Amino acid sequence: MEDKLEIRDENIEHRKMCAKDLDEYDLLERQKRNLEKKIEEIKSEIKISSIQVQQSRDKINKLIENMTSMGSAAANRTPKAQYNFNKLNQLSDRLANHNLL
């Protein structure tokens, strides 16, 4: 009889230990899921930031391309266009000097 009580007490103690281990395991599983969720959120933020950076890079490259094209066009003026450009600059200088007087 005493052996049965001792076995029963051991079983109860064993169940308590198992329950405690199970609770700890459940806690660790919840923490794991929370961390996985945070990792996915961070990955999503990084992806969004990466897309925004690429879009900004594309805009800058397009702007540089446009400025280069404008510079090339300005450098390759026809003689008549250069003549008109020089005349406009002279008129602009005269107006500026006239307004200063």
> What are the angstrom distances between the C-alpha of 96 and each of 91, 99, 101?
8, 5, 9
What is the reported pTM?
A: 0.49
- 3-state secondary structure (DSSP) of residue 77: coil
**Does 63 or 97 have the greater pLDDT score?**
63
End-to-end CA distance of the chain: 123
Place of tokens 């923490």: 31
Reported as a single tens digit per residue, the pLDDT across 18-46 is: 888 888 999 999 999 999 999 999 999 99
Task: Provide the CB-side half-sphere exposure for 41 (13 A, CA).
Answer: 6
Q: Identify which of 73, 97, 69 has the alpha carbon closest to the alpha carbon of residue 85.
A: 73
